Amino acid sequence: MLVQKKRALSILIGTAIGLGASFNVTAEKTLEQVMKERGLTQKDILAAAKTYTPTGGRDEYLAFSSGGQSGQVIVYGIPSMRILKYIGVFTPEPWQGYGFDDESKAVLAQGRIDGKDVNYGDTHHPAISETEGEYDGRWLFINDKANPRVAVIDLHDFETKQIVVNPLFRSEHGGAFVTPNTEYVMEATQYAAPYKDLGFVPVEQFNDKYRGGLTYWAFDKQKGRIVPENSFTFEMPPYSQDLSDAGKKDSFGWGFTNSFCTERYVGGIERGRPPFEAGCSSKDTDFLHITNWKKAEELVKAGKVQKRNGMYLITMEQAIAEGLMFLIPEPKSPHGVDVTPDGKFIIVSGKLDSHASVFSFEKIQAAIKAGKFEGKDPYGIPIIAIKDALHAQVELGLGPLHTQFDSKPCVAYTSLYVDSMVGKWNYCEGKVLDKLSIHYNIGHLMTMEGDSVSPDGKYLVAMNKLAIDRFNPVGPLHPQNHQLIDIGNDKMQLLYDMPLPLGEPHYVVAIKADKLQPEVRYKSGWNSRADEKSPFATRAGREKTERTCDAQGKCTVEVMGTVIRSHINPEIIEVVEGDTVKIHLTNLERAEDEVHGFAMYGHPVQLSIEPGKTTSVTIEADKAGVYPYYCTEFCSALHLEMQGYMLVKPKDYQAEKAAMQEGVAYTKADYDKQVKTNLDTQAVIDQVVAFITSHNFKDYPTVVALVEDATDQLGFAKGAKEKADAAAASQDWQNAMLWANQWWQYQVKAADLGLRAKTFLEQSGAKKIN
Ligand code: K7E
Ligand code: CUA
C-alpha cells in the first residue's frame, strides 16, 4: 500500500530514485546449499512444498477455530496455516472496534448474564451452517462453555451479529452443532444445576432439583438470526451432558448427546467427601442420550409444550410419554460423539476406555420400534441395551476422544489423548489402518468439511493441547500446537506445526474457500451489526453537528460526520463540559481495504470504519480540555494529518474574538507555484483517465469502485479549486494558497486511485475498447 502510494507520488512529483551504484553482489544459493545450511531433509522439502503458498497465493480451505478462553474465533488458511483474522465474539476486539462502538456494544450487551457484562467467553465448538448436510458457508455458530451462550457470525462480513443466553442452564458444552438444514443449533449443558428460575437450591437436593438439558435453538435463515421464541429444550437428568451431534441422512431428525458422571456424584473435599473425579468415574458406563427433535418440533408447533422462563421445555415426563428420548449405556466417561457422513452410525469414545464404540442407527430404531429396553434410568427414561445397539467396538489406543471422517467410505480418524496419537481406522469393518504420533496430547481433530455429509479428506489438523518443546520458548505459558497432516495417502504424513497463541482452541471447522463470498464493502451508510441502513448515515457535504438540551439543561451534541482520505469531517468538535457527545462516522470510500479508524485521547474509543460503514460512539465530555482525535489506520500518505480536536469548554467559558494564529504566511508566488503543480498533476490524471476509459473497465467491479472513489475526489478537487480561485480573485493569498494545496491533495488521492485502477486493468489483461 505504502509502496504504491510512494510510486504514485513519485510519478506525480516527477522524481526518480536512482539505484545506488555500488553494492556487494551475492550469488543466489542453490536449494541443496539451503537444505544443508538449515539441516533440511528431502521429506521436509516435500512437506514444505505441500504447504508453502507463494506471495499473493490463496488457500484451498478456510478454517474457523474456536479461540478458547479468548472468547474469539480464529480464521486461518489450509494448507498454508496462515492466520487471517480474529473475529471478536464474546470478547471486545479493538482492531475491529468490537466492543468500542455503540453498534457492537449492543451485540455484546445481548450476552449479559443477570445484567452483568461478561466480556469473555470459553469458546469450544464452531459450526458452519448447512443445507442438506453440506456446508453452505453462510453463518458460523460458536458456544461459550462458561456461560451458556451461542453466538451467530455472518460469513458475508465475518462479524458477530447475535448472542443468545440460555434462560435455563448455568453452563454448557455440547454446542454448537447444527442440524442438516440449520433448522436448529444444538446446545447441551455440562454441569447440572437448578434451572435459572429456581435461583438457589441446596446441593443436597441434587438428584431431585438439579438438571441437565439440551436446547435446540431455532434458526431463521431469512433473517440470519436465532429465534429464541421458537426454540425448545429437552429437560435431562443431572448427568454431565457433554458433546452432541445431529443425525443426518438416515438419522435425520434425531440428535445424540453423551454424558459423563451419570453417577450423579457431588464432591466436596472440604466436607470430607472424596473429590468429584473419584465419584464421577466409578461406573463402567455412562449414557448416550438420543432425542427426536423432529417429533418434538411437531409437539411445540401443535402448542403442546409449556414454556419455562421464556423457553419451551419438554419435561422428562413428557419426553418419555411421547417417545422422544432414549438412553444407551456407553463406556466409560465418554467425550466425543460423531455421526458418520451417511448418518448410519454414531461413534462414541470413552476417555477411560481404549475402544471406540460404533452404534448402529438402524439397530437403535429397531429396538425403539420393538419396545425392547433393558430397563429405565432413575427418571424413567428407557435404556436400550448396549448389545442391541452396537455395530462394532474397536481397540484404538489410550484416551480416545473425537472422531472425524475421510472422503473414503468407512474411514475415520480418532484422537488418542493419552497416547498423543491420531488413529486411522475403518469403522465398517472395525480395524485399525494407521497411527501417527503428534506433539503433544491431542484434543479434537478435524478433516476438511469433516462434519458434512461429504467430507473432502485431503488434510487433517490435530489440535494439540501441549506444545512443550516445539517452539521457541516464550515463558511458562506456551502456545497451543495445531499440526497439519496430509491424509491423501494410506500413511498419514505430518506436514507443519502452527503455534496458536490465543487461548486454548478446542474444535475447528474447515470449509472450501470458494464457498465463501465475503463482501469487500458495505452498502453506503450501513450499520453492519444490525445489518440495516444506519439512521446516522451521512453523505459527503451533509456533515453537521447539532447541540440540543432537555428541560433539565442536560445537553447532547450529535455529530454526523464522514471519513475519507485524508480527513475526518468535522475537524473541530466544540462542546461544553458535561455534554454527552454522540459521534457518527460514515466511511465514504468504496475502494477495497480503504479502512479508517478513530481514536480520541482520554476516552475508550477505537472505531474500525470499513468502506461504506457507519459507526457510532458515545462519549461523556465530563472534563474541560482539549482532546486530539485521529485516524488509526495508515490509510493514505497524509494519514498522519487525518486528525482533529474535540474542544471541551468549561461551563461558563466566554470566547474572546480572535483570529487564528497562522504558522506560515503565504504569498502570491507560493500560490502560483502550487497552481503550476496542480496543472501538471491534472495532465497525469487525464492520461490515467484516458487509459481507463479506453478499456473495458466496467467489467471489473474492483475498478468500478476505484473509479467511483476517484470521481468523488476529483469532485472535491473542483470545489477546492473554486475556493482557491475566489480567494485569489480577492488577493487573499493565504487562503488562495491553502485551498490550492487542498485542491492538489484531492488530485493526489484521485491519481492514486486511478493508478491502482490502471495497474489492476493491466494485470488482469483488460481489453482496449476505443
Ligand atoms: Cu474435547 Cu470442549 Cu470438544 Cu476441548 S472439547 S478437546
Ligand atoms: Cu484514515 Cu488514516
Note the pLDDT of residue 693.
Answer: 93
261 C-alpha to center of ligand 1: Å? 16
Rounded CA separation 524/530 (Å): 14
- What is residue 338's DSSP assignment? E
Phi, psi of 332 (to 5 degrees): -115, 130
The answer, yes or no, to whether residue 642 has pLDDT greater than 50, is yes
The answer, yes or no, to whether residue 658 has pLDDT greater than 90, is no
Under the banding of pLDDT at 50, 70 and 90, the label for residue 3 is very low
Q: Which cell numbers hold the place of 284?
A: 463402567
- State the helix-helix crossing angle for 733-763 and 668-693, rounded to 10 degrees: 20
Strands 572-576 and 643-649, by their bridges, are parallel
* Coarse DSSP helix, strand, coil percentages of the chain, rounded to the nearest 5 percent: 25, 35, 40
The answer, yes or no, to whether residue 104 has pLDDT greater than 50, is yes
Rounded CA separation 712/743 (Å): 13
The string of pLDDT tens digits covering residues 276-309 is 999 998 899 999 999 999 999 999 999 999 999 9
Under the banding of pLDDT at 50, 70 and 90, the label for residue 417 is very high
Contact criterion met (CB below 8 Å) for 502 and 482: no
DSSP secondary structure string, 647-704?
A: EEE-TT------PPPPS----HHHHHHHHHHHHHHHHHHHHHHHHHHTBTGGG-HHHH
Contact criterion met (CB below 8 Å) for 83 and 74: yes
Note the pLDDT of residue 128.
Answer: 98
**Does 596 contact ligand 2 (Cβ within 6 A)?**
yes
Rounded CA separation 707/685 (Å): 12
Under the banding of pLDDT at 50, 70 and 90, the label for residue 24 is low
Rounded CA separation 569/539 (Å): 11
Under the banding of pLDDT at 50, 70 and 90, the label for residue 88 is very high
Q: List beta partners, residue 447.
A: 460
The string of pLDDT tens digits covering residues 579-621 is 999 999 999 998 999 999 999 999 999 999 999 999 999 999 9
Note the pLDDT of residue 10.
Answer: 53
Rounded CA separation 680/392 (Å): 81
- Which residue's CA is minimally distant from atom 4 of ligand 1? 506
Under the banding of pLDDT at 50, 70 and 90, the label for residue 23 is low
Please compute the mean of the pLDDT values over residues 474-484 and round it to a whole number.
Answer: 96
- What is residue 418's DSSP assignment? T
Under the banding of pLDDT at 50, 70 and 90, the label for residue 17 is very low
Of 116, 64, 70, 75, nearest to 90 by C-alpha is 70
Contact criterion met (CB below 8 Å) for 695 and 571: no
Note the pLDDT of residue 197.
Answer: 97
Contact criterion met (CB below 8 Å) for 502 and 74: yes
Residue 540 CB neighbours (<10 A): 14
Reduced to 3 states (helix: H, G, I; strand: E, B; else coil), residue 374 is coil
The answer, yes or no, to whether residue 97 has pLDDT greater than 70, is yes
Top mutation candidate among 142, 189, 243, 404 for ligand 1, by most atoms within 8 Å of CB: 243
Note the pLDDT of residue 711.
Answer: 92
Reduced to 3 states (helix: H, G, I; strand: E, B; else coil), residue 608 is strand
Note the pLDDT of residue 18.
Answer: 44
**Does 74 contact ligand 2 (Cβ within 6 A)?**
no
**Does 635 contact ligand 2 (Cβ within 6 A)?**
yes
- What is residue 30's DSSP assignment? P
Atom of ligand 2 nearest to the CA of 597: 1
Ligand nearest to the CA of 415: 1
Note the pLDDT of residue 12.
Answer: 53
Percent of all residues in the chain with a pLDDT value above 70, rounded to a whole number? 97
The string of pLDDT tens digits covering residues 122-164 is 999 999 999 999 999 999 999 999 999 999 999 999 999 999 9
**Does 639 contact ligand 2 (Cβ within 6 A)?**
yes
Note the pLDDT of residue 19.
Answer: 47
CB-neighbour burial class of residue 429 (10 A; exposed 0-12, middle 13-18, buried 19+): exposed
